[in-house]
A and B are shown apart, each in its own frame.
Chain A
Amino acid sequence: MELLVTMLANLLATDGALLGAGIAALTGLGAGIGMGIATGKAVEATARQPEAVGKIRTMLLLGLAFAETTAIYGLLVSILLIFVA
């Protein structure tokens, strides 16, 4: 039991940053789901009203930028954890 605890402590002390980087990369999940939903809805809207495609495209790009931001934060955190910590 003690051996396990010391092993775990050693792991966290040495590779904790790498573990954190892996967890931080999970932000991609949420961003991916959100961007998928946004794109799907934009396709639906375009199919329903093809003449509004210009407005829909601008709004879609803006929404995608907001959704992408969280993924970028995750990527930044994991890069900093790998290379700086």
Chain B
Amino acid sequence: MINTATQLLSTSKFDGLKDKIFPSDVIVIGGFRINDSVISGFIVVFVILLAALILRLTVIRHWKTTPSAAQMFLEWLVTFFDKSADEMTEKYSGLMGPYTLGAAVYICCGVLIEMFGLRPAIADIGACFALALCTFLFIHTLGFHKNKARRLLHFLNPINIVTDLSVPVSMTFRLFGSILSGMVIMDMIYILVEGIWYIGLPLILPAVLTPLFTLFHAFIQSYVFASLTLTFVQEAIETPPKKPKRPKKKVAYANKPL
């Protein structure tokens, strides 16, 4: 028993984890580097485009008033994002609905690709920062488009500038941290389970724990990213309140009975 415990806890086993924290470069041509996260990112984009094409040619071509299951699912998915975009960003819902759906689908598929043994596309700090930067650009472009020059009043308070600049950083690290920690924990479980093959645990334990650390993270993080984007855009396109006019006191005094 003690032997197994020491065997499990020996740190030399976990040395392989060190290389998994940051993506490793696969192709290096001078200063141009391609790591494995980028490759799986391209695979994800290709798969999403292919799925969109197939859906366009099969399900959407046979659109009916009595919907099939696939049509129901597609309508539910699109309506879910369109409706929440409509509630939060009234005028710009035509722009924000498709953007949030696209970002959510990319994050979700980019994490789920881990189940095929590839490195998740989102477990690279560059991918997370790109998504967060898109949101940052949307927030400020739409804010200036809606309120024009009045939006500049928002930046008179220096605290607001710090808050705005911290938005992309916090979104980057939220996404990166949660996906990376899920991946590291799953790798740790694979390493731990190797030593106790005799109970049949390697077959069961990862299968039970994968939904916890990969599946839920994928759905929750994509939902959180979409709703946070919508919330920040809603905050930016709010019309600033006008200053209340001062009540004329002289008139009030004149009417006052002595």
Contact = CB atoms under 8 A, between A and B. Distances in A.
A84 interface: yes
Interface string B14-55: 000110010000000000000000000000000000000000
Interface in B156-201: 170, 173-174, 176-178, 180-181, 184
Contact of B177 (A61, A62, A73): A73
A56 interface: no
Contacts of A73: 173, 177
B180 A79 contact: yes
A5 B224 CA distance: 48
A62 B228 CA distance: 7
A47 interface: no
A72 B177 contact: yes
A48 B224 CA distance: 26
A76 B227 contact: no
A35 to B, nearest CB: 13
A7 interface: no
Contact of B181 (A65, A69, A72): A72
Contact of B21 (A61, A69, A75, A80): A80
Contacts, number: 43
Contacts of A83: 17-18, 21
A84 B18 contact: yes
Nearest to A77: B177
A73 B174 CA distance: 7
B174 A79 contact: no
Contacts of A79: 21, 180-181, 184
Given A83-B17, A83-B21, A76 B180 contact: yes
Interface in A11-37: none
B181 A76 contact: yes
Contacts of A84: 18, 21
Q: How many interface residues does chain A have, given as a range?
A: 10 to 19
A62 B231 contact: yes
B223 interface: yes
Contacts of B84: 58
B178 A72 contact: yes
B22 to A, nearest CB: 8
Nearest to A84: B21
Task: Name the residue in A62, A69, A72, A84 with the highest tally of chain B Cβ atoms < 10 Å from its Cβ.
Answer: A72
Given A72-B177, A75-B181, A76-B177, A61 B18 contact: no
B174 A72 contact: yes
B176 A76 contact: yes
Contacts of B21: 79-80, 83-84
Contact of A61 (B17, B180, B181, B224): B224
Given A83-B21, A84-B21, A62 B174 contact: no
Nearest to B18: A83
Contacts of B184: 79
Given A79-B21, A80-B21, A83-B18, A62 B180 contact: no
Given A65-B220, A65-B227, A73-B177, 17 more contacts: A61-B224, A62-B227, A62-B228, A62-B231, A65-B228, A68-B174, A68-B178, A72-B174, A72-B177, A76-B176, A76-B177, A76-B180, A76-B181, A79-B21, A79-B180, A83-B21, A84-B21
